[in-house]
Chains A and B, each alone.
Chain A
Amino acid sequence: MSTTIDRQWTTRLRKRVEGTLPPEKLLPDTQPAYVASWIYVFGVLTLVAMAEVIGTGVILAIFGPQWWHVSGVGHFINSMHLWGVEVFFFAMIVHLWGKFAMAAWRGGRTLTWITGAVTFLASILTAFTGYLSQTNFDSQWISTQAKDGINSTGGGAFFNVLNFGQMLMWHIVLMPIIAVALVAFHVILVRIKGVVPPIVENPEVGQ
């Protein structure tokens, strides 16, 4: 009887998840003593800045793309969205160089680095399509400038930066899904692997 249950897909999936990411790893209450530096805060700052950007973006989405031109509250939410993005990128770039300085890809953490770097790219595309979705002079200018770069790669055949509807869809549907999925994967990988230990140049002399 128990063997039948053990062979169930559901049971096997649960055991797998329990094995790779038990609750003590997902939400640990201790960390190795070397996790004591301001640099560790920047990953978390990036994460919460992203939450802020999504929150203000949701409010802008509720009222539609033109609302912020005519509403004082809307304009303020737009300001928060913009400054959230600036804080997000600042934190992310400090985080990136911090992780570089720590060679944080060591010990089987290459995929953590790669998902991080790809998230950086996805964030750039998200911000770019956001600038195109402003429905003001800035988006007119940025789109007509950017078209040449994208057209030169052939991408302009499918990704038309002058098509507002298409860019808005990328900005508020496709890119947020991609970015959130990437970040979730990134953070779960960090939890699975634990925080990378300091560099040991000579393992014989060791810790």
Chain B
Amino acid sequence: MSKRYNPDVDVPEYTGRYAPYDIIKEGTIALVVVLILVLGLSITFGSPDDKAITLQTWSKADPVDFATTAFSELDGSSAVAGYGAPYNTNGTSQHWGFIAPAKWLGVHIPINTATDFVVSPLESQPANPALSSALAQWKGATSATQSAWLTAYSNVSGKMSFSGDRVVVPSAKDGPVPVMITSLTQMARSGALDQALETSKGFYTTDFTKPLLFLSDGTYFASLAQKGHLLGTQWGMMNETDSYPGQAWLWLYTFWYQVSPFNTSASADFLVWGLMMILTAVLVLVPFIPGLRSIPRRIKLYRLIWREHYQDL
């Protein structure tokens, strides 16, 4: 042996006994066993299928939450409005020191929440004198005037209610904003907003980015998730609706979100992803890492696995 023998890397040639072993039979039995197991689990437990929600279900169930969210899309205070890359440039992307890959890659899925979620859908509505003049007023105004209206509306929006198919707020110098918010809420309740957002790029669509982002800005969506134990703080990534087992293999990934510094960092996602990438590389490269690759020899579980072999020695 020219190189020194390393028990974590090398194996001496096996000169011992061989015994008959039928791998095809083993595989066939395994297949039957797994099929029976899966059939049994499926018959006993089935699988969950909670219906997808729509902007219509949301605005009917909680019109005030919908209208509040719609307003936050218009005045740019929603999470998506201030997200940053890849949707817009209004926020600082997650980063670690100067390492900010999201920012480097820039805006790839441009979203202007005021235009895409409020103004354009309203423009697609059939002409109605009140709405048409509100939109004309909005578009004709300077941005200073627009923000004065928005501020005025936000000062009274805490007292918002919904009655007689209208979003009601105390009167204020808020220009066309109340008509726009009420119209968008009515549009959502009729189902037309779902259509407008889904088909904004044309007839055929498989892309639900816009309606999903809009949904995610409200509290209604998250409150449903909370009931289903799906929030991040509830280890939600590992759960499925109706208490079914979900992606349990994500336990380590989910774990980091529960502990410091990640649970308080604004860049938690980026830090956790970075950490998981390093740990993953470690898993892939275990055979090369001195110390780590000696762990099996130290914990000696292999003596149990090959106990007959060691007894025979």
- Contact residues of A with B, CB < 8 Å? 27-37, 39, 41, 44-45, 47-49, 51-52, 68-69, 75-76, 78-80, 82-84, 86-87, 89, 93, 98, 100-103, 105-107, 109-110, 113-114, 117-118, 120-121, 124, 127-128, 131, 134-145, 148-149, 151-154, 156-158, 160, 162-166, 168, 196-201, 203, 206-207
- In contact, B209 and A163 (Cβ under 8 angstroms): yes
Can you list 28 residue pairs at the A/B interface with Cβ under 8 Å?
A: A31-B21, A32-B17, A33-B18, A33-B308, A34-B14, A35-B19, A35-B21, A48-B30, A78-B49, A83-B45, A84-B34, A87-B37, A87-B41, A98-B305, A100-B296, A101-B301, A105-B286, A106-B7, A114-B284, A134-B49, A135-B52, A142-B237, A152-B94, A197-B12, A198-B309, A199-B302, A201-B7, A207-B16
- In contact, A101 and B10 (Cβ under 8 angstroms): no
Interface assignment of B259: CB less than 8 Å from any CB of chain A:
no
- Residues of A close to B302: CB separation below 8 A: 101-103, 198-199
* Partner of B212 from A83, A107, A140, A165 at Cβ < 8 Å: A140
- Residues of A close to B132: CB separation below 8 A: none
* Partner of A153 from B15, B102, B215, B236 at Cβ < 8 Å: B102
Of the candidate stretches B120-128, B143-151, B175-183, B266-274, the one touching chain A is B266-274
When each residue 229-264 of chain B gets 1 if its CB lies under 8 Å from chain A and 0 otherwise, what string results?
A: 010100011001100111111100000000000000
Interface assignment of B170: CB less than 8 Å from any CB of chain A:
no
A34 CA to B269 CA in the complex, in Å? Answer: 45
* Partner of B12 from A80, A140, A200 at Cβ < 8 Å: A200
- Contact residues of B with A, CB < 8 Å? 1, 5, 7-12, 14-24, 26-27, 30-31, 33-35, 37-39, 41-42, 45-53, 83, 85-86, 93-94, 101-102, 104-106, 108-109, 206-209, 212-213, 215-216, 221, 224-225, 228, 230, 232, 236-237, 240-241, 244-250, 267, 269-270, 272-273, 280, 283-288, 293, 295-297, 299, 301-302, 305-306, 308-310, 312-313
Q: A87-B38, A139-B52, A144-B213 are in contact. Are A121 and B104 (CB under 8 A)?
A: no
- Residues of B close to A139: CB separation below 8 A: 52
Chain A binding surface SS class: helix
A131 CA to B102 CA in the complex, in Å? Answer: 24
- In contact, B27 and A44 (Cβ under 8 angstroms): yes
- Residues of A close to B45: CB separation below 8 A: 79, 83
- Residues of B close to A206: CB separation below 8 A: 12
Q: How close is B79's CB to chain A, nearest CB, in angstroms?
A: 9
A124 CA to B276 CA in the complex, in Å? Answer: 13
Not counting A33-B309, A206-B12, a sample of 9 additional A-B residue pairs whose C-beta atoms are within 8 angstroms of each other reads: A29-B22, A30-B19, A44-B30, A48-B31, A76-B46, A137-B228, A145-B230, A164-B207, A199-B297
A127 CA to B248 CA in the complex, in Å? Answer: 11
Closest residue of chain B to A35, judged by CB? Answer: B21
- In contact, B5 and A203 (Cβ under 8 angstroms): yes
Q: A103-B302, A151-B102, A207-B16 are in contact. Are A79 and B207 (CB under 8 A)?
A: no
* Partner of A164 from B8, B9, B206, B216 at Cβ < 8 Å: B206
Q: How close is A40's CB to chain B, nearest CB, in angstroms?
A: 9
- Most chain-A CB neighbours within 10 Å: which of B27, B30, B206, B228? B30
- Residues of A close to B236: CB separation below 8 A: 141, 145
